[in-house]
Structure 1
Amino acid sequence: MKVLRYMLIFIPISFICKFLNVSPSIMFVLAALSIVPLAGLMGEGTEEISFYSGPKIGGFLNATFGNATELIISFFALKEGLFEVVKSSIAGSVIGNVLLVLGASMLFGGLKHKSQSFNKKVVEVSSSMLLFAVVGLCIPALFTHTVDPELLNTRYEGLSIFVAVVMILIYILSLVFSFFTHKHIYASANEEENHGTAKWSLSKAIGVLIISTVFIAIESEFLVGGIESLTESLGLSEFFVGIILIPIIGNAAEHSTAIIMAMKNKMDVAIEIAIGSSLQIILFVAPVLIFLSLLFTPMSIVFNEFELIALIVAVLIANRVSSDGESNWLEGVQLLAVYLIIAASFFIL
């Protein structure tokens, strides 16, 4: 976290550069370097609040604010009409979490502890829900790609809204499942995650959370404003920016937390960060973005064919690797290898 503290210097630098009207590409880089430590502070703030609110509410806050950065970035991208960036960032978050984060956690945790075990029941529930969520997210796209375009009409726009409503309802029901009807399944993981005492007062934690959110919103506008300039100057596609760069920028602090937990032999926490965050992206963040797009130009929830394949493959592999309740460094390498292949494929688009 000390490195993240030093990176806060990029916040005033980005404001000065914005005042001096430097190139949008430079503003993208400065905003990205500013968002990473701010996301880290936001995560630290929610972690401190969890000591006062209890494990259940604390875990919910961690998951919610862990994805808040990406939600804010995507909102400004929606405002600018960068729908492909928004949709690819949704797919990229899921792919990054279940391949990059989970893979790195298993690799570094496995190198230190050889073989690690985790709560199989919790992972089975989360993995099954993730598989359902991805299938639900893919159905509108599969429908569009298989039906003759001439047969589609304006009513199709309502399909995205309907799917978003169903996703939100499933998300609410999943909270009821984990917090109330089947909370005993998650008891051990929650206990492991919440050892220790608070370092900050409740008022300080809430203040840090609010201030971090405000600055992330400002920096996100700088970031989105430089996307088109960056893609033109470096020859990158919007797909690569959305599916690789934005998820890494928005979730860098959360990713490092998962790896640290794995190295401390807390694989339950690491896996829940990876899979739980992916679930919330699909079941909560994606529907919210669909609803927010109605304020500007309605956005469909249709992904291109390669995004669909990458999503389904990532989730299937993650399900297979985590199905036995144990992990090792080789499984981590396998997940990372798939992620690198996917990233390279989007790079050349």
Structure 2
Amino acid sequence: MKNKFFFGFIAITTIASAIAHYWIPSIGVKFAMTSLAIIALAALLGKATETVAHYAGDRIGGFLNATFGNAAELIIAIFLIKRGMFDIVKASITGSIIGNLLLVLGLSLLAGGLKYKQQTFNPLLARQNASMMLLGVIALFVPAAFSNGLEVKQIHTFSLIVSASLILAYLLWLVFSMITHKEELENTDDEEDCEQPPSWSMRTAIIIMIVATTLVAVESEWLVQSVEKVAHKLGWSDLFIGAFVIAIVGNAAEHSAAIFMALKNKIGTSVEIAVGSSLQIALFVGPLIVFISYLFGTPMDIVFTTHELVAIGVGTFIAVSISSDGQTNWFEGILLLVVYMILGAGFYFV
């Protein structure tokens, strides 16, 4: 009965958002209905993630959630690239990285910490994640520092080399963490004893994740269209739109799934979703977008602005500092959220 009501609500919100998008002229109504549909689909994706984690392990579940969640981010970026809106693409990459590290992880630590005094996860995994995030920061800082005085063609070649290196590093990281050192990096989450077995099979859950992600991507594109119009009416800059508004929308799936897992005392899965998603954006999705831009005949470089680099550097520093010991509490979540608010204010006034 609960599943029927759940799927019925998702169907109603999705259909309502489609009606609003195509036949209702009010931007406010379009924005509200599409947002509601994304929230419902994100909840579905979170439930599917929990089911996959039950069968395949928390790391695989978190990885799949981050991957399907970032698929929407990639699709949105492709739409923006087709329009030549590279500044917003870079801002959305920045916003996605800091959004996962500060907002998603912060809300997860806060929610889980309010229910459980202290939550723990594999400290070795935390240190490996920290090293990978620092690699991402270095790879973004170096092109910005060395691009002065270079010709446009040289900058694009430099960007391709950096992007290819990051993609290779990420793929090797998957081999290291999922195959050769899988046992050492397994999470140590304490599941609730009263937890009931999932009502879906693993195959059903994966199919649901694929369908939900596809719908989230469609809804996200609709929401981007309405958000851009609303934002420009309010006088928001492209940097703020990309780094915060679009990034929050693109990460809707991760938001709900990570918080839901933290409340189930599976903070390791929450960290895998939040930090793993940031890693995937910085080391794979962002570099992949550089290569995809060549398909449209308008190459995008990997040179980010000073504001974006500072935001990524600050976000990585505080997240690494808090999570490196493998222990979390609600106050650490507050610290991450405070930094996110400070950066949000900075982007708003730029």
Where on the TM-score scale, by shorter chain, does this alignment land: which range? 0.7 to 0.9
Separation of aligned partners in 2, 1:196 and 1:230: 43
Aligned residue for 1:208, secondary structure, equals: helix
Q: Report the Cα offset of residue 32 of structure 1.
A: 3.5
* Aligned residues: CA RMSD: 2.9
The 1:77–1:196 alpha-carbon spacing in structure 2 relative to 1, beyond 3 Å, is farther
1:94 matched to 2:97? The reply is yes
Aligned residue for 2:215, secondary structure, equals: helix
Q: Report the Cα offset of residue 165 of structure 1.
A: 0.8
Separation of aligned partners in 2, 1:48 and 1:173: 27
1:321 aligned partner: 322
1:344 matched to 2:349? The reply is no
**Stretch moving more, 31-40 or 298-307:** 31-40
1:142 matched to 2:145? The reply is yes
Supply the AA of the counterpart residue of 1:321: I
1:334 aligned partner: 335
Supply the AA of the counterpart residue of 1:168: I
> Any stretches of 5+ residues in structure 1 without a counterpart?
none
1:225 aligned partner: 225
**% same residue:** 47
Q: TM-score, normalised by structure 2?
A: 0.86
- Contact 1:189–1:269 (CA under 8 A) maintained in structure 2: no
Supply the AA of the counterpart residue of 1:118: F
1:157 matched to 2:160? The reply is no
Separation of aligned partners in 2, 1:186 and 1:59: 13
Q: Report the Cα offset of residue 125 of structure 1.
A: 0.7
1:129 matched to 2:135? The reply is no
Separation of aligned partners in 1, 2:120 and 2:190: 16
2:279 aligned partner: 279
Q: Which structure 2 residues correspond to residues 98-247 of structure 1 after superposition, within 5 A? A: 98-144=101-147, 147-148=148-149, 151-189=150-188, 197-201=197-201, 204-247=204-247
Separation of aligned partners in 1, 2:213 and 2:89: 19
- Contact 2:43–2:253 (CA under 8 A) maintained in structure 1: yes
**Stretch moving more, 112-121 or 313-322:** 112-121
Post-superposition CA distance 1:120-175 (Å, at most 9, x none): 1110111111111121123212323xx24xx4342211222221111110011001
Q: Report the Cα offset of residue 119 of structure 1.
A: 1.7
**Stretch moving more, 337-346 or 131-140:** 131-140
The 1:264–1:294 alpha-carbon spacing in structure 2 relative to 1, beyond 3 Å, is same
Separation of aligned partners in 1, 2:264 and 2:60: 23
Separation of aligned partners in 2, 1:4 and 1:308: 41
The 1:54–1:333 alpha-carbon spacing in structure 2 relative to 1, beyond 3 Å, is closer
Q: Report the Cα offset of residue 241 of structure 1.
A: 1.6
- Contact 2:43–2:257 (CA under 8 A) maintained in structure 1: no
Q: Report the Cα offset of residue 295 of structure 1.
A: 1.9
Supply the AA of the counterpart residue of 2:249: I
Separation of aligned partners in 1, 2:191 and 2:185: 10
Select which of 70, 76, 80 maps to 1:77.
Answer: 80
Separation of aligned partners in 2, 1:217 and 1:235: 26
**Stretch moving more, 31-40 or 153-162:** 31-40
1:63 aligned partner: 66
Supply the AA of the counterpart residue of 2:170: Y
Q: Report the Cα offset of residue 71 of structure 1.
A: 1.6
Separation of aligned partners in 2, 1:273 and 1:199: 22
- Contact 2:110–2:333 (CA under 8 A) maintained in structure 1: yes
Q: Report the Cα offset of residue 53 of structure 1.
A: 5.6
Separation of aligned partners in 2, 1:196 and 1:301: 46
- Contact 2:101–2:319 (CA under 8 A) maintained in structure 1: yes
Aligned residue for 2:328, secondary structure, equals: strand
The 1:290–1:49 alpha-carbon spacing in structure 2 relative to 1, beyond 3 Å, is same
Q: Report the Cα offset of residue 277 of structure 1.
A: 1.2
**Stretch moving more, 286-295 or 3-12:** 3-12
Post-superposition CA distance 1:241-263 (Å, at most 9, x none): 21112222222232233223333
> Any stretches of 5+ residues in structure 2 without a counterpart?
none
Separation of aligned partners in 1, 2:250 and 2:7: 13
- Contact 1:77–1:86 (CA under 8 A) maintained in structure 2: yes
Q: Which structure 2 residues correspond to residues 249-268 of structure 1 after superposition, within 5 A? A: 249-268=249-268
Post-superposition CA distance 1:5-64 (Å, at most 9, x none): 746534223322333362566545543433332233344345445556666654542331
**Stretch moving more, 280-289 or 151-160:** 151-160
